[in-house]
Amino acid sequence: MKISKRFVLASLAALSGSTGLAGMAAAEEINIILCGDVVTPVYTKLFEEWNAANPEYPVAPELVGWGQCQDKVTTLAVAGTPVDIAYVGSRTLKQFAQNDLIVPVPMSDEEKAAYYNFVPETVTFEGAQWGIPVAFSTKAFFWNKDLFEQAGLDPETPPKTWEEQQAFAKQITENTDAAGFGMIAKTFDGTVHWFLHWIYTNNGQVIDADGNIVLNSPQNLAALTAFKDIVPYSEEGPTAYEQNEVRAIWLDGGLAMMHCSVSCANRGTEAGINWGVAPLPVGPDAQGPGTLLITDSLAVFKGTGQEDKVIEFGKFLTSPANQLAYELSEGGLTPLRPSPEVDAMIAEKPHWRPFVDGIQFGGPEPLLTDYVGFQNVMIEMVQSVVTGQAEPQAALENAAAEIEQYK
């Protein structure tokens, strides 16, 4: 089994911090690791339905906290005692697959077509699907209407382009006590996601369909340059802030504009913010409103002896009706598939519209052999530009060359 040194070291680190390893999953029992503190009531109901129809394959769920979940799943797999199926970040699937730790989960053309654009691509490489999408996140643009009005801007007219976004941020910074724009640049995975939103709002890519690294492109240079140019009108010291911390400033009224998930809608209302939401502003090469498309997936692990039945269980759990029930119960997940029920939700809650409209021109989280390595390179690139230590072109060229090793 081919396992990279970095992969082994990460797994051994997780192993050394654990209290012990679970044994090989008992035959005729499906062990599933879920991340979080509680099993959602929708899953409890679905597990009961599955058990009633498949009494010889009862579900045995295990909850692991978000901070330890990925490490435990990896540790078990590398040690040769894999769980049957687990909730993982889709960005890890290529690494699991190339180390022969998971099995493909075939999707028919009909199954793939049922998802929104590019969702299957978040779990696909070399022509195969390596996970079942189970959670979906997109971003949109939020603004504080009262701060717009204080700065002399039309509170009902958000920026549509990067150029307008920067001009609005400058006007707000110069005419109010608030920062114009919320910038994320901390040494944290959210910084990578943050910059990928800029890439996908200018028709850029990191890795193309043929597996070539295309980070060093005119579209991405424009994104990194725009990123640099808005820093003077953002909160002070953006390398100290990740997305939750930026959101806290916005909820406290100290920030006029930011990119956020749909969770900011309810939180903004609860905080008394007079907010609006719109598609993310776009760059000069954009074909339409875009966003990074992030999914988490159910991965089926190799070596349990019951992989086919486990795939059947995973597809049951994420069938259109069951998946929609899960999404609606969670409240903050972008739907994975279009449906009349989703249309009804948008009609009832119009603030959902930008989160769905951005999918058409969005792009998937890149699948690489070492996502942590890729993440570190991207964070260093962003921080070097934000702090003025490097110019965008040089930073982009350097990052593109370093990422080649993670294809």
List pLDDT tens digits, range 36-67: 999 999 999 999 999 999 999 999 999 999 98
* Tens-place pLDDT, residues 81-133: 999 999 999 999 999 999 999 999 999 999 999 999 999 999 999 899 999 99
Q: Which of 186, 228, 230, 223 is nearest to 205 (CA)?
A: 223
Measured between alpha carbons, how far is 281 from 288 in angstroms, rounded to an integer?
10
Residue 18 has pLDDT above 50, yes or no: no
pLDDT score of 67: 87
3-class SS of residue 382: helix
How much is the pLDDT for 119? 95
Which domains are present in the chain? 5-137+294-363 (3.40.190.10), 140-290+368-406 (3.40.190.10)
- What mean pLDDT is predicted for residues 263-267? 93
Q: How many angstroms from the chain centroid is the CA of residue 77? A: 23
Could you tell me what percent of the chain has a pLDDT over 70?
A: 93
Confidence at residue 11, expressed as pLDDT on a 0 to 100 scale: 41
* DSSP-derived secondary structure letter, 366: P
Q: Which pLDDT score, from 0 to 100, does residue 16 have? A: 32
What's the chain's average pLDDT?
Answer: 92
Least confident of 4-13, 37-46, 155-164: 4-13
Mark residue 211 as left, alpha or beta (left: phi above 0; alpha: psi -120 to 50; beta: remaining): left
Report pLDDT for 232: 97
Whole-number Cα distances in Å, 123 to 86, 222, 289? 14, 28, 23
User: What is the reported pLDDT for 209?
Assistant: 84
Confidence at residue 20, expressed as pLDDT on a 0 to 100 scale: 34
pTM of the model: 0.88
Please give the single-letter amino acid code of residue 327.
Answer: E
Average of per-residue pLDDT across 230-243 = 96
**In the prediction, which pLDDT does 195 show?**
94
